[in-house]
Every structure is written in C-alpha cells, then in structure tokens.
Amino acid sequence: MKPTLYMKCTNETVSPYVIFSGDPWRVEVLKTYLDNPTHVAFSREFNTYTGYYKGMKVTVSSTGIGAPSAAIAMEEMYECGMKVALRMGTVMSLKDELLGHYIVPVGSVRDESTSSTYIDKSYPAVADFNFVSIISRVIKNTGSKVDNGINATMDGYYSQMRESKLSLEREINIQSIFDNLKKNHVSGIDMESACMLVVGRLMNVKTASLTLVTVLENLKDMLKDKERETKEQELCQIALESIYQYYLEENKNESK
C-alpha cells in the first residue's frame, strides 16, 4: 500500500498494536524501551516508531493536541491494520487526591465536536472493559492509585479548562464548568479520549485511555520538574506493559 497521507505509514511499517501519545516528544521516551526501534516518520504532529517490547511488535505514535488530529491518527493507523489502540497521555483531574496518579476511564463525556462528525451524540464513548481491567492491574502493581470513573473530553483549553487573559476579559466562568462536571462525578478532563473511544468502537478496534494526572482544575496544583519527568517515564512503562499484557491474553484465548 502507499503511505498514508499525514502519518506516512503502511501496513508493513506499523503493528496492529498501537500506543498513541499526545506529545510527539514523549514518543522519543517510549521508543527507548523498545528493542530495534525503527523510525517510520515524523510528519506534522505525528511521530511514529515501530519496534519490539518483550518480543511483541508494537507501534508508538503521537496525535498532537485535540480530537481532530487524534481522529486522523486513528483513521490512518486503522487503514494500516490497527486492531488495538491505547491512548496514553496526561489529564486534568477534578479530584485533588489523584494528582500524580491515574485515570483510566470506562467512558467519556462527549463534549468535543469531532466524534459528532462520525455518529450522533447518543452513541456512547466507552472503553474496552477488558483492556481497562488489564491497565488498572498494571498501575496498581506500581503502587499508584487508579480511578475508573468517567472523564470529559473538551475542545477549548483556554475557554473551558483554564482561565486566560481573554476568558477573564470576556467574563467566562470556567469554574462553573468544573463545578457542573463534579456534580456529575466526572473525574477529569482531557482533549482526546471521547473521540478516540468512539472512533475505535466504530472501527471495532479495542481501545482504552490511560491518563496520568499532572494538573488539577485550572492548574491550582501540578506535578513539576523531576517529579513530572519520573511519572511520565512510569506512564510510558505502564502503557507498554499494559498493551503487552493485553496481547498475551488475546493470544492465550485464540490458542484455546
């Protein structure tokens, strides 16, 4: 096949097992844990490597920020034969006690717009439950906490998630957004999960979202410097081990 339009991938250069990072430079950290990593391409915001983790062929790539580019990444990896997709990234938590820990949502509120170009809002954004269970087990083995509630995915970082000069000038009450979500027991907010879960379901690709809490609402507290660097390295290790454990379970079931 010809390389895909944006990511420059083919079914020969990528694996059916794909980890997506929002940050293209976090992919550079991920690839250090791979054996024999091959650089597929760095095109626009999409930085892609394929290598081996404990003998399993895996592709690690980036989506950039937000749902529109995440949907492009899902589409082009699906075109190349993707069967399992893991979003790994950071999340803003609405629960103070989760700072430095993880949210692996069973589902997501579809407050972004991209997924609506695929299917009506009544269609749920739901993760693969078995995948969620495996990721949560891997996290607990590190000694960290994991929240398996729901998150919300939004488009407007400076209009919905953090006060800015413009939002203050326009008297946008961002705190009211947080308050309404907390009333509905939403654990955190990101910019990709809902779209990726919806698109993954429509593709029949087993999809889940692994997110590290690096900031609290409106950046009232955050992980900094060495602490954040250490936790992001742990995030990469958890992502790789989780997709590997899912791979083992899938192959065990197929061999029966």
Is the alpha carbon torsion for 115, 80, 76, 151 positive or negative? Answer: positive
Q: What is the pLDDT of residues 110-167, one digit of tens each?
A: 999 999 999 999 999 999 999 999 999 999 999 999 999 999 999 999 999 999 999 9
The pLDDT of 2-11, averaged and rounded, is 97
Q: Is the pLDDT of residue 31 over 70?
A: yes
The pLDDT of 206-216, averaged and rounded, is 98
For the chain, the domains span: 17-250
Q: What is the pLDDT of residue 250?
A: 87
Q: What is the pLDDT of residue 33?
A: 98
Q: Is the pLDDT of residue 253 over 80?
A: no
Q: Which amino acid is at 93?
A: S
Q: What is the pLDDT of residue 100?
A: 97
User: Burial letters for 142-154: b for 16+ Cβ neighbours within 10 Å, e otherwise?
Assistant: eebebbbebbbbb
Supply 174's token pair: 């961002």
Report residue 132 CA to chain centroid gap: 12
Q: What is the pLDDT of residues 85-119, one digit of tens each?
A: 999 999 999 999 999 999 999 999 999 999 999 99
Q: Is the pLDDT of residue 252 over 90?
A: no
User: Burial letters for 158-192: b for 16+ Cβ neighbours within 10 Å, e otherwise?
Assistant: ebbbbeeeebeeeebebeebbeebeeeebbbbbbb
165 contacts 90 by C-beta, under 8 angstroms: no
Q: Is the pLDDT of residue 251 over 90?
A: no
The pLDDT of 226-239, averaged and rounded, is 96
The pLDDT of 228-235, averaged and rounded, is 96
| Distance, CA of 197 to CA of 129 (rounded, Å) | 12
| Distance, CA of 214 to CA of 171 (rounded, Å) | 27
Burial of 2 (0-12, 13-18, 19+ CB in 10 A): exposed
Q: What is the pLDDT of residue 128?
A: 98
pLDDT, mean over the chain: 96
Q: What is the pLDDT of residue 136?
A: 98
Q: What is the pLDDT of residue 188?
A: 98
Q: What is the pLDDT of residue 254?
A: 67
Q: Is the pLDDT of residue 255 over 80?
A: no
Is the alpha carbon torsion for 5, 65, 67, 130 positive or negative? Answer: positive
Supply 21's token pair: 């990072």
Q: Is the pLDDT of residue 256 over 60?
A: no
- For the chain, what is the largest distance between any 2 Cα atoms, rounded to a whole number of angstroms? 63
| Distance, CA of 221 to CA of 224 (rounded, Å) | 9
DSSP letter (8 states) at residue 20: E
The pLDDT of 198-202, averaged and rounded, is 98
Supply 126's token pair: 């739901």
This prediction has a pTM of: 0.96
CATH code linked to domain 17-250: 3.40.50.1580
Q: What is the pLDDT of residues 179-199, one digit of tens each?
A: 999 999 999 999 999 999 999
